[in-house]
Structure 1
């Protein structure tokens, strides 16, 4: 999880106090804040229509809507990257068990040299005429390996497959352009690189899902729900665009203002600037670690805000104890240390990490 911005914390406290007097919450307030949130997120990912963006509580929720409306059958397959995050695996496992379809988990090569490039090639080769969807992150959550979404999107169009993206590990720190990549769905948790609170996220759904069935039937997702005096006059039509997929109680009067505030700040900073900054503060440390025999993916095959340091046989438990003793917080994933710097870090932080590992 990311640290919490002070402005985000203040927004949460203001919202908490607001509930003291529910008479101050007007009917239009159930919709206004989420409209602003959609517009800010649309700006962040360059999505032309905010109505295609919905509030979700988690990636698993957003992916469940995709899975329910995938329309996959026996003999078809879903291509994923090996060992990607479980929320972008379990929905496809369930669908395949129910339909007789198949998951094709594409593993990276055993050889480290050119690993990222070869992994991308393997994914492209795995997509065939029976592929219904490719479900990936923009980067791999373990070591930041970049997936070439433009090339993958081109290949999915050739075979008529969908492109489903879990943006949790990248959106907010690595530029993502909906109009360029044209994903069929993009789902992001809010608590990582969006610098927001836990239990809220955002999802973009493309035209393929316009006439689908949501996993829940919320009154707010029906046409005309803004008119509280007519709610008992049930309406069979949904709100326009992708809004049928929005979670119940999406107004969330505490979490929505917090996430709105954090994304507003990201838009002020500029995501490209964040990625450039992460590259700046990690450059010297990465070079030092390579000199000491650690392996880190080539710069053009990984993100700068999330990368893995392969231990090459070193004692992971000993290293973990050393880093914790020196107040350095990283993740251990398999035989790699996952490093995730952002704007709250400096080059001194990374140099301290590299110096300790070099011992």
Structure 2
């Protein structure tokens, strides 16, 4: 465990985002997505940055691998698909729901013990099936149920209270906060409530990238290495069979990747190279191509990233444009590839 004291908390301010992607239709820039990007080398140095990588922000679900590390440190015994699910923003597929029940049942827990917000499945196709079948929102189907099940199991193993496991003062959440500060290398700036009801810790984009790098480069057998292995080997459990994050982990050998609501993406390679992205307006259509360009800037072969170049813009049902990373990010990636 790293015993170095974390640095001061990032400054809470309006982030100084910069253009990171252009919406191009028929050769004309129709729109601009603002955001911030950081690329770290294997030595932890900043290789590339765009926008504001030091302002406090909320990583949302991109912080789940860090939360999972904290729970494994606290005794959570899961590995493989269940540990991947503990760090997941899952799609609500039947394998995800069954996995959450597999987590809960040995601990004598049920869906009724979960304190996340009832919701429909995250994946649109799965959600449509639920609607057609008349199935109501449930805590099990909500995309954070794996994390909440893991939190409950960790609390039970340690003899901690269950009803208030989401209280920031609860021993579980205190342990998670300590791990967030250790792995990001900075103190938490603010604590609020995430969409699922769990505490959410504000760090910087730079700190988020550092945390991912430390997780993937940790020694075998450590909690960090166990989380990284589980997510990489069971990418569909960490997201979903049709999700871009799972596809990205399948496409790039050894890559650990996690998305977060409001346009957040973090990814890291086994040698510690890492990227983190925040799209200011939360647009997923910009998150994917910007993240791919950042990974190319980190040295990933662009040929592995062609499927993540961005969705086409349609006119009359035919492609007439696309969402492209700005020239500064694209040029950096091209230079690295060359």
Same fold (TM over 0.5): no
Using the size of structure 2 for normalisation, the TM-score is 0.24
- Higher-Rg structure is 1
Using the size of structure 1 for normalisation, the TM-score is 0.23
The structure with more strand, counted as a fraction of residues: 2
